[in-house]
Amino acid sequence: MDRTEEQLLCEGLQLEEFEVLQAIYPDFISNPSSFRNDKVLHLMLGVELPNETGIEVFSPQADHPNLAPSSSAILLSSLPPLRICLRFPSEYPLQKPPEITYIRVEYLWFKQADALRCALLGSWQPGETILYSWIEFVRNGQFLRNLGLLSLSNILGLVHDSPESLSQYLREYDANLKLVAFRDALYSCPICLSSRKGVHFAQLSCSHIFCRSCIEEYWSISVREGDLERVRCIDPECMKAKKGATDDEVEQVLSGISLARWRWLRDKREFERDPDHVYCPACESPVRKCEKDDMNAPDGPWVKFRLCNECRFSFCKVCKSSWHGPLVVCPVPLELVRRYVEATKTNSEEA
């Protein structure tokens, strides 16, 4: 086979491989026209982790094997994508592998690009179209284990200058990806039995799923009737457990007047559970004790002081009069003095 025939064969194999990849992974190829024009392929490969993988992020100083990670382990099922740029030489796939121009990631969560490049190029054999294997090697996270980043116990160790911020970034990416997948999937509501996409449904922390209209109607009626105990998952098992909905769940389902009333009922319930709760004598708004440590000593002179956040009226918790200072004894109400005098007079007459 002369050189011209070999190049034509390579071009045909490259085009065939590209079309297969485009059919299998349409979302992974970010700029298809660059292949046809310049024989360059831009891949954006999200990483799927096995089950729920633990991620531990270390600072660059964590070279000592016994040094603990700078942030607590987080459980994730996906990692942000690797951007890989490939160029196809005219001799690929018969004599040369694809050229890896660069491997990049956002937020620098992966820093072993050179090691990954060597692993990819080392897996190619002359005459082999290799891109499908490369994509799967990256996409399913196998490269993390091969590079020694993922342990047998499914703990992934990463190094970053700001471990806490990287952990937060990875958590947000994973949560957003799960949210997108949830919204695109099809679900059936166990209440009204309708089947629609997840964008019309609400998933609670217990993993039960209901269409928003059903759960919103039930919770709105409960809030209107002032029954916060019924603002929970309406699955029979969860109803028996009597575990209330979280604040985030309620705020995702309710809106407008129902949400405002729920917040008011929640704050009122929490306030009334506080043994130090008291109402402002001027505007009747709920008033909590001051949060300053020097005012909260059990036997301190300021323990009776209260300041209303609504009308800014300062008063005494015990006598309800305007604040008379920490060293002044509560004034005796005139009505109490009158009753005492009348009671004393009555007792004298009876004697």
CA dist 193 and 196 (Å) reads 10
**β-bridge mates for residue 197, sequence order:** 186
In the CATH scheme, what is the code of domain 3-172? Answer: 3.10.110
Q: Write down the pLDDT at residue 295.
A: 54
* Residue of 41, 156, 43 lying closest to 109 (CA atoms): 156
Q: Write down the pLDDT at residue 264.
A: 87
CB contact at 8 A, 286 and 309? no
* Paired tokens of 320: 């309800």
CB contact at 8 A, 285 and 308? yes
One-letter amino acid identity for 278?
A: V
Q: Write down the pLDDT at residue 67.
A: 54
CA dist 228 and 219 (Å) reads 9
* Paired tokens of 157: 């160790």
Residue with tokens 């217990």: 206
Q: In this structure, what is the dihedral angle of CA atoms 225, 227, 228, 234, given to the nearest 10 degrees?
A: -100
CB contact at 8 A, 224 and 261? yes
Q: Write down the pLDDT at residue 340.
A: 64
In the CATH scheme, what is the code of domain 187-273? Answer: 3.30.40.10
Helix, strand, or coil (residue 78): strand
Residue with tokens 């491997």: 103
pTM more than 0.75: no
Domain boundaries, the chain: 3-172, 187-273, 277-329
Phi and psi torsions of 105, nearest 5°:
-140, 155
Instruction: Report mean pLDDT in 10-residue bins for the chain, 351 residues.
Output: 78 93 92 86 93 85 54 85 95 94 93 95 94 96 92 87 90 93 93 92 91 93 92 90 88 92 87 81 83 60 84 87 82 66 64 51
Phi and psi torsions of 282, nearest 5°:
-90, -50
- What is the DSSP code (8-state) at residue 301? T
